[in-house]
Homo-oligomer: A and B are copies of this chain.
Amino acid sequence: MALVVQKYGGSSVSDAESIKRVAKRIAEYKRAGNDIVVVVSAMGDTTDELIDLARQITPLPPSREMDILLTAGERISMSLLAMAINNLGVKAKSFTGQQAGVITDAVHGKARIVDVVPSRIRETIEKGSVAIVAGFQGVTLNTNDVTTLGRGGSDTTAVALAAGLGADVCEIYTDVDGIYTADPRLVPSARKVDRITYEEMLEMAASGAKILALRCVEYARRYNVPIHVRSSFSGKEGTLVTNVPAIAAAGPNEGEEAMEDPIISGVAHDRSEAKITVVGVPDVPGTAARIFEVVASAGANIDMIVQNVSVAATGRTDISFTLPEDDGPIATTALNGVRAEIGFDSLQYDDQIGKISLVGAGMKSHPGVSARLFGALRDAGINIEMITTSEIRISVVTRQDSLDDAVRAVHSAFGLDGEGEAVVYGGTGR
């Protein structure tokens, strides 16, 4: 008997039929003797439809009202799911974020969880019921206002509840069978990974892998909540995200051989970044700092940075950095505002870049990894524009239109290709 928190995304509860299917799975799991808390997203396109309704009313809806509007979606899916489970003869009750004790700050639209007080949830499961909780939402402590958690909010709700309840595992149900060595939509030969560490998963998420949001993995790492990413469309074991590396979990005998090699978790890619190049920057101390200070103050998140060697004749250099495409306008506006002060020549904006990242443990101590990566890209005829590395990741910026080829080439070069074809079931929830 285990205490399990399960999270189902919007694609798993897109209509009455799929809600009944999920209910059946939960009822079976409950009958097997487990205590279950279920976190659910809004049904299929509900959120998009509500956003569309708001847009018909006003181009700039107040974020507090937007949050109240959007949380209607989970209210619908959670009550329907509770009904469906009751209909199978298993007791179930649904709870809003507020009722479940998900306390957040007051930043509407992207609130952060500040506390989880799941006393009603605990009481409900102790009485033998399944507790269904609305994902993606919380309530402010002092003003009792409804908030939404933003991107990855439902996953984070699930992990936070699992932490608050001391659950044995947090199962994230999605439309793929687990974490793959690359996006299976792009690389059909991608292999499912059985285990991955929080750190590797963080690097994957930060590098563009969309299966788990960064904040959710951060939360799980902080409270050491094991995450099991699996499909709601199959009964298969998925990928376990813990602080135990795959090599250690495999045991001394099986691991022996592999311990000599770097462990590559996978290849992530990201099309959502843009590159800004500040051309002709005076090469004097403090200029780079000032540039990034200005960009950060504007609220833009900088990812990779490259500074060319200064041209001796002019005493000037170029500084390039990448950032989320969405932050492009505010960053360029902010930089143009300090052009005279900093004294640079011009700005170049490029949103046609792609980023490929190789993630795995022990990379730094294996110089052969980067050599093999660069070799694979060269053999595929792909030009490298920027490079960054961390303890367990190497990221490379290429032209966006060669990104797919780059991912496949690298995936293959590191022997990640599996034998079967990866299974993808549908869209993804939030």
Which residues on A are within 8 Å of B, measured CB to CB?
Answer: 16, 19-20, 50, 53-54, 56-58, 60-62, 64-66, 68-69, 71-73, 75-76, 78-80, 82-84, 86-87, 93-94, 96, 98-99, 120, 144-146
Neighbour of A53 across the interface among B62, B71, B80, CB < 8 A:
B80
CB distance from A202 to the nearest CB of B (A): 35
Show 5 A/B contacts (Cβ-Cβ < 8 Å), sorted by A.
Answer: A54-B80, A65-B79, A68-B96, A99-B144, A120-B144
B69/A76 in contact, CB under 8 A: yes
A72 CA to B46 CA in the complex, in Å? 12
Q: Closest chain B residue to A50 by CB distance?
A: B76
A84/B58 in contact, CB under 8 A: yes
Q: Closest chain B residue to A43 by CB distance?
A: B53
Neighbour of A93 across the interface among B64, B82, B87, CB < 8 A:
B64
Q: Closest chain B residue to A64 by CB distance?
A: B93
A61 CA to B98 CA in the complex, in Å? 23
A57/B144 in contact, CB under 8 A: no
Given A58-B84, A64-B93, output 7 extra A-B contacts at Cβ < 8 Å.
A16-B53, A16-B56, A19-B57, A20-B57, A54-B83, A57-B84, A68-B82
A79/B69 in contact, CB under 8 A: yes
Interfacial chain B residues near A83, Cβ < 8 Å: 54, 57-58, 61-62, 65-66, 69
CB distance from A103 to the nearest CB of B (A): 14
Neighbour of A94 across the interface among B68, B86, B94, CB < 8 A:
B68
Neighbour of A80 across the interface among B57, B78, B98, CB < 8 A:
B57
